[in-house]
Amino acid sequence: RSHAFERTRPPNTLSTCFAMAAAAAAAAADKKGGECVKVVIRCRPMSSQEKIDNREQIVECDVKEGVARIRRPGTTDFKDFTFDAVYDENTIQGNFYEHTGYAIVESVMDGYNGTIFAYGQTGTGKTHTMVGPPEPEDMHGVIPRTFAHIFRNVEMSPNKKFLVRASYLEIYNEEIRDLLSKNPK
C-alpha cells in the first residue's frame, strides 16, 4: 500500500538495512524529542545443532548494565563490551521491538527518516530478530512489526496523505542488493 504524503518536511522514508546481526544500530528519538544513534546487541540462544555438538557458550549478557562479556573458548578470560542496551537469549520479540524499533517508527511518522540496521556474522540471528517466523504472530520480528505499526498509524490519520517508502538492503561481501527489487543485483 502506498499513500501520497503532504507536509512541509521531506517525505518519510523508513529504510531497513541488513547485513550481519549481533549488533543493531538504531536511530531513535529520545524523550525530549532529540535524535541520537543507539547501538544495541541481541544475543541469540545456542542452536540445537550447537548443543548437539557440545559447543561452549562464550557470550554472557548483563542486560541491566548493557554489557556483553565474551569469553575466550577454553579459558576464563573475558572481554567486556558496553552498548546502549543488551538483550540476551531470553528476549521476547515484542519487547525487543518496543524498546528498539517503536520510537524510530514514531519519529518516522513525524516526518523524520529512520534506519534500523542489523549487523553480524552469518548465523548470529539477524533473520530471527529482523523477520522472525511467519507463525506464531508473537514471534514476528522487527520488519513485520514495523510495517504493522506504520500502517496502523496511517489508518488512524484519514485526513493526511502518506507516501511510504521502504528499502530492504543486504550488504554481503561488500556488495549491496535491494531485496525488494525485481532485479536485486
* 30, pLDDT greater than 80: no
* 3, pLDDT greater than 50: no
Residue entry with cell 576464563: 76
pLDDT in tens, 136-180: 999 999 999 999 999 999 999 999 888 888 888 888 888 999 888
* 79, pLDDT greater than 80: yes
Contact 20, 117 (CB under 8 A): no
The model's confidence at residue 85, banded by pLDDT at 50, 70 and 90, is very high
Contact 117, 18 (CB under 8 A): yes
Euclidean distance between CA atoms 107 and 114, whole angstroms: 7
Mean pLDDT of the region 41-57: 90
Euclidean distance between CA atoms 26 and 18, whole angstroms: 12
Contact 66, 41 (CB under 8 A): no
Residue entry with cell 501520497: 4
Helix axes 93-100, 142-155, angle to 10 degrees: 60
Decide: helix, strand or coil at residue 77.
coil
- φ, ψ for residue 27 (rounded to 5)? -90, 120
Q: Which of 24-33, 39-48, 61-70, 128-137 has the highest mean pLDDT?
A: 61-70
The set of cell numbers assigned to 95 is 519487547
The model's confidence at residue 34, banded by pLDDT at 50, 70 and 90, is low
- What's the DSSP call for residue 15? E
pTM: 0.73
What's the number of CA atoms in the CB half-sphere (13 Å) around residue 184?
12
Euclidean distance between CA atoms 101 and 132, whole angstroms: 15
Q: Name the nearest CA neighbour of 9 among 109, 154, 103.
A: 109
Q: Of residues 163 and 3, which shows the higher confidence score? A: 163
Mean pLDDT of the region 74-78: 92
Query: What are the DSSP E strand ranges found in 30-58?
Result: 35-42
pLDDT number for residue 144: 94
Residue entry with cell 496502523: 152
